[in-house]
Amino acid sequence: MQEKPKLTDRQQQILDLVQSAIERTGAPPTRAEIAAELGFKSANAAEEHLQALARKGVIELVGGTSRGIRLKSDTLRALNESRGKQFSLPLPSLSQLSLPLVGRVAAGSPILAQEHIDQTYLLEASMFPRRPDYLLKVRGMSMRDAGIMDGDLLAVQKASDAKNGQIVVARLGDEVTVKRFKRTRNGIELIPENPDFQTIVVSADRSSAEGDFELEGLAVGLIRNNMMM
């Protein structure tokens, strides 16, 4: 069994901060957010600690994005184990999840309709801070700066509402899209994490230029597609 890497108190603090941000919003924090939260003078100090965590193999850093921090699956498991019984699963049979992978979604039909299911993955429940209902294959690079890349598998928990800042899966007419959610006085904004893409504005009657809006779920985890090969 691989020995758990020894972390300094500061590294553990940063790891906990990354984990809590992912639990709360579905995405890791930026270097600037880590620096502000922990009182560092600059984002460079946060970067140095993140590089140290990456060298110890507990996180993975994705270049070119402000939120390119990924927790390794064994890191998530270790975190859950170290935090005690509130994270433990009562029955061994519940420790694995059978999650359908959703491919192309036909217009007007439920996202989990049988014809949309490409295959099913058996994954450990401890990989996710909240229990997902399905995996969605990410298409395109509109969420690049949140560390969500084309071909990644997004773990999604079914939901009909979201809080500001959460990453959501939304249906707009004939398309299913992944964006950051923001409720405004006049409706909803679906915000990309890539300056090459425009914010989608949804009016109070839940319509947009791309079609009628429906919230399908919340992002609760991410699996790089090459991890499943």
Inter-residue contact 202 to 208 (CB < 8 Å): yes
Alpha helix segments (H runs only) across the chain:
9-25, 31-38, 43-55, 73-82
Q: Are strands 96-102 and 134-137 parallel, antiparallel or unpaired?
A: parallel
φ and ψ at residue 178, rounded to 5 degrees = -110, 125
**3-state SS assignment for residue 34:** helix
Question: Looking at the annotation, which residues are catalytic?
Answer: 142, 179
Quote the distance between the C-alpha of residue 29 and its chain's center. 11
CA 220 to each of CA 21, 30, 209: distance values in angstroms, whole numbers, following the listed order? 11, 18, 28
| Cβ neighbours around 84 below 10 Å, total | 8
